[in-house]
Amino acid sequence: MAPLVCAVFCCIIGGQDAEQNKWPWQVTVQRNEDPICGGSLISALWVVSAGHCFDPLVLGVHHLLSPSAPGPSKVQQIICHPSYNAMNHVADITLVKLKESVPFIPSICPISLPGASHQFPEGSKCWVTGWRRVEVTSKSALHRLTQIMAPFCQALPRPL
């Protein structure tokens, strides 16, 4: 199945189960134990995610209903982008500082980020991971981490 990218809040439908520990930087942001957003661990103390989705952060999870899934990490500080606008989601990015450093184990380690000058050519593809919806109209997500290859999206021009 080809990925379906929705224009409004860019959700991706489809994909396949991810191999355990393949994406150890993947963080789930949860509300009532359901995934509402994802994020990436960028160091032992910092996570990057969208600004509109803050609730408990859980790291090292492959299957959300697994009894071995770790509990939520405590948050010390949330730093939203200074231009973040909750009405239209402009600059919807947040840094989250954890209260305690997380230990690096096979299921939890930071992502390697490209340098600030790295350019991604038009038409490049990337892996997108998360706890996906099965279909566009579905309100519930699967409880197993999934992955799909998708094209990079160019940022939309900001309104004047």
- What is the per-residue burial (b if ≥16 Cβ within 10 Å, else e) of 72-95? ebeeeeeebeeebeeeeeeebebb
Q: Express each pLDDT in 9-45 by its tens digit.
A: 455 667 888 999 999 999 888 777 677 788 999 999 9
Average pLDDT over the chain, rounded to an integer: 76
Question: In terms of C-beta density within 10 A (0-12 exposed, 13-18 middle, 19 or more buried), how is residue 56 classed?
Answer: middle
Over residues 82-109, the pLDDT tens digits come to 888 878 778 888 898 988 898 899 989 9
Mention every residue, 6+ apart, whose C-beta is less than 8 A from residue 107: 20, 21, 24, 60, 61, 62
Cα radius of gyration (the chain) = 16
pLDDT value of residue 137? 58
**Whole-model pTM?**
0.75
